[in-house]
Amino acid sequence: MHLYQVLRRPLITEKNAALQAQGKYAFEVAREANKHQIKQAVETAFKVGVTAVNVMTVPGKERRVGRQMVLTQSWKKAIVTLKSGDKIELFEGV
């Protein structure tokens, strides 16, 4: 898997904004990606140092489509902890 296919999108929520004060940033990542690939992708894309990567699979939810109940697709979330003093400029001002 190429490093630029690992990160899908940044997750910008109130809870993740509170984590940014601790130097932690959240991303939606590819389901096939592992911690080492996520660390390399963040370091090369944003030119920062990564100390830890926590990964979790978010299960899909049941949604109603007409009369049917369908299950949305599950996805993978990564919370990346940066070295002290490093920032990702993409998240600033949000």
DSSP 32-66: T--HHHHHHHHHHHH---EEEEEEEEEPP-EEEET
What residue spans define the domains of the chain? 3-84
Q: What is the pLDDT of residue 2?
A: 87
Q: What is the pLDDT of residue 10?
A: 94
Low-confidence ranges of the chain (pLDDT < 50): none
What's the CATH fold of domain 3-84?
Alpha-Beta Plaits (3.30.70)
pLDDT tens-digit profile of 3-29?
889 999 999 999 999 999 899 999 999
Q: What is the pLDDT of residue 30?
A: 97
Q: What is the pLDDT of residue 4?
A: 86
Q: What is the pLDDT of residue 93?
A: 65
Q: What is the pLDDT of residue 90?
A: 74
